[in-house]
Amino acid sequence: MINNAYLPLSLTLIIALPLVASALVLLIPTRWKSIKGLVSFTVALVTLLISILIYRNNFSFSFPWIGFGLDISLRLYPFSAFIVTAAQGFAVLVSLFSIKFMEGREHEGQFYSYLLITLGLTSGAVLADNLLLLLFFWEGLLLVLFGMIAVGGKEAFRSATKAFIINGVTDLCMMSGILLAGYLAHTFIISKMNLPATGLGALAFVLIMIGAISKSGSMPFHTWIPDAALAAPLPFMAFVPGAIEKLIGIYFLTRITLDIFKLSAGSTLSVLLMWIGGLTLLFAVMMALIQKNYKRLLSYHAISQVGYMILGVGTAVPIGIIGGLFHMINNAIYKSGLFLTAGSVEKQTGTTSLEELGGLGRKMPITFICFLITALSISGVWPFNGFFSKEYIYDAAIGKGLIFYVMAALGSFFTAASFLKLGHAAFLGKLQERNQKIKESSVSMLIPMIVLAAFCIFFGLYNSVAVKIFEPIVQASYTGKETHFIFNISPMLAAITGIILALAVLNHLLGVKLGKDGLHASDHIRNAPIISWIYTKAEKRWFDPYEIAMKLLKVFSAILLWIDRRVNWISDVFMVKVSYSIGSAIRRVHLANYPVYLIWGILGFAAVTLFLIH
């Protein structure tokens, strides 16, 4: 719609506008009630419109910024355009939601400005065609991550630091990976890079992959998300871990697997990816099952859904990749939807721990309905979007190896079970007296939930539309010619998913009967023989790589300090003692009676004469 002249301007506008607006938001005095929320909402809306307008074009441009390969080059092509628009869409919804939610909380201005900075940097990272520029925007997010979590409250800075350190460390790995890749390919322009995934290339791939999966929050680097869930303000959880991080992380993962390294289907790296995806999937959802807090449960689910996407992309098969990408956008939609429901519950009841919730369905019907839709779509029930993307992933996974399919299936079983438990504990069951007076949350919070629920349904029914969006991406790297993939859901797989869901319902009913109410529905799994040991250890953070790394680091730096003290000992103690002992030896030899001096003199004289004469 916009001719090419305006395209460079619009691209820079998408990145620059939110950044400038964020500075503006900080300046607005706190007295004017919710102006900040409105400003961020409008800015997000404007960038959304711009990106929708320029959606169709396939365009890239660059101008030099610094030498040595770091120049600003942005590229708009279907995949990056889609991600940018999706990100802006979520930004609009979350800012709308948080106008009401963040009202009256201190540091509100800071929250909105960080939100806008995140939006700007994400669109910058996605549009960047130069790896270094991507790195620049990517690590910029670190700064904002810390800010947004720390805004949450007094003690929020601990989990903010944890998040910052984990992301900082993995970003540094990614930086060295990028530099290695740039060195091997002699250029940092992504579109021009293609490297063999062997030897140094493999090392580069692994390093970059660490950065990508840690940003998307998968297994080894996930531990900051559950802590942040309690500490950080809820819109942050809905926006960043819920949507944005998944978008960028998986976008970048696909770019390196498809464009830069062109992973072959059976290669070790893709198997590695699939294993990471599978394990994340399984462990995270098992942890989610036993959670007693609405937000922590959702945050663990966010981690497990990433497992699906990584599994999908890891298969390096067209259907798998498209399944993964489709699952990415679906998950973004229903995950942020679920978080928003949690937000409205928290807004009304003031708490998100399941013990104090119950029977809210009658009091907050719309929230309950949106929760129902998003919960069903996340557990992969037929008409909703979760089902189709999971089917594609199952189809690709079963092709690669039964173990992956079994893990995926188990994962969806537990997902369904945990959401049944959550729904039962929060919305059904007996209404607690403290929640008597609550009523439905305000309109401005409900609209985003409803929109997201609608999207779940839309993408469920017209899933072929989504496939058409992702097709050109896969085509460009795989077959190179215009072939249309026709995917049809294999009836056998669909039947198995149906059985799994039924089993989940049965398990839930069994749990309710044993545990007497929705909250303890999962206790029978919790204290099963071996699993309970693992669970108790997990709760005590044994498996948290961050804690292990910190303990190791303490020991390592103690050794280093010892080395430093030894070097100091040499210069402080050893040198001083030696020189003083020699000095006092000379002083002692210096007796007071002169005959000794005389003897020295004569001996000296004898030595000199002997030397001179011979």
Residue ranges in 113-152 that form contacts with another protein under rule CB under 8 A: 132, 135-137, 139-140, 142-143
**Nearer of residues 514 and 548 to another protein, judged by Cβ:** 548
Provide φ and ψ at 64, rounded to 5°: -65, 135
Residue 608 near another protein by CB under 8 A:
yes
**Nearer of residues 140 and 242 to another protein, judged by Cβ:** 140
Amino acid identity of residue 468, one-letter, is: K
- Residues 28, 169, 202, 406: which binds another protein (CB under 8 A)? 169
CA dihedral 328, 331, 337, 343 (to 10 degrees): -100
**Nearer of residues 505 and 582 to another protein, judged by Cβ:** 582
Biggest CA–CA distance in the chain, Å, is 121
Provide φ and ψ at 76, rounded to 5°: -105, 115
- Burial environment of residue 170 by CB neighbours within 10 A (0 to 12, 13 to 18, 19 or more): buried
Residue 600 near another protein by CB under 8 A:
yes
**Nearer of residues 67 and 480 to another protein, judged by Cβ:** 67
- Burial environment of residue 605 by CB neighbours within 10 A (0 to 12, 13 to 18, 19 or more): exposed
**Nearer of residues 17 and 180 to another protein, judged by Cβ:** 180
| Minimum distance from residue 118 beta carbon to another protein (Å) | 13
Piece of 254-262, 326-334, 378-386, 572-580 that binds another protein (CB under 8 A): 572-580
- Rounded to the nearest 10 degrees, the angle between the axes of helix 491-515 and helix 402-426 is 40
d(CA 597, CA 603): 10
Piece of 100-108, 349-357, 475-483, 587-595 that binds another protein (CB under 8 A): 587-595
Tell me, residue by residue from 197 to 236, as one string, x for binding to another protein by CB under 8 A and - for no binding. Answer: ----------------------------------------
Piece of 25-33, 176-184, 365-373, 402-410 that binds another protein (CB under 8 A): 176-184
Element (H, E) at 499: helix 491-515
Q: How far is CA 462 from the centre of its chain?
A: 28
| Minimum distance from residue 554 beta carbon to another protein (Å) | 7
Residue 593 near another protein by CB under 8 A:
yes
Residue 63 near another protein by CB under 8 A:
no
Buried b (16+ CB within 10 A) or exposed e, 359-382: bbbebbebbbbbbbbbbbbbbbbe
Query: By rule CB under 8 A, what count of residues binds another protein?
Result: 72
Residue 465 near another protein by CB under 8 A:
no
d(CA 480, CA 564): 59
| Minimum distance from residue 468 beta carbon to another protein (Å) | 36
Residue 606 near another protein by CB under 8 A:
yes
- Residues 168, 220, 401, 515: which binds another protein (CB under 8 A)? 168
d(CA 272, CA 267): 9
- Burial environment of residue 607 by CB neighbours within 10 A (0 to 12, 13 to 18, 19 or more): exposed
**Nearer of residues 32 and 68 to another protein, judged by Cβ:** 68
- Residues 102, 175, 333, 407: which binds another protein (CB under 8 A)? 175
Contacts within 8 Å (CB) and 24+ apart, 451-454? 451/93, 452/93, 452/333, 452/334, 452/336, 452/337, 452/340, 452/370, 452/374, 453/337, 453/369, 453/370, 453/373, 453/374
Residue 29 near another protein by CB under 8 A:
no
| Minimum distance from residue 270 beta carbon to another protein (Å) | 24
| Minimum distance from residue 158 beta carbon to another protein (Å) | 7
Residue 533 near another protein by CB under 8 A:
no
d(CA 21, CA 46): 12
**Nearer of residues 503 and 552 to another protein, judged by Cβ:** 552
Residue with tokens 């807090």: 293
Residue 183 near another protein by CB under 8 A:
yes
- Residues 3, 5, 31, 68: which binds another protein (CB under 8 A)? 68
Residue 266 near another protein by CB under 8 A:
no
Residue 595 near another protein by CB under 8 A:
yes
- Residues 33, 56, 105, 158: which binds another protein (CB under 8 A)? 158
3-state secondary structure 528-581: CHHHHHHHHHHHCCCCCHHHHHHHHHHHHHHHHHHHHHHHHHHHHHHHHHHHHH
Piece of 80-88, 257-265, 337-345, 599-607 that binds another protein (CB under 8 A): 599-607
**Nearer of residues 490 and 584 to another protein, judged by Cβ:** 584
Element (H, E) at 449: helix 443-461
Piece of 21-29, 42-50, 289-297, 604-612 that binds another protein (CB under 8 A): 604-612
Piece of 216-224, 409-417, 485-493, 562-570 that binds another protein (CB under 8 A): 562-570
Site for another protein in 542-561 (CB under 8 A): 553-554, 556-561
**Nearer of residues 156 and 274 to another protein, judged by Cβ:** 156
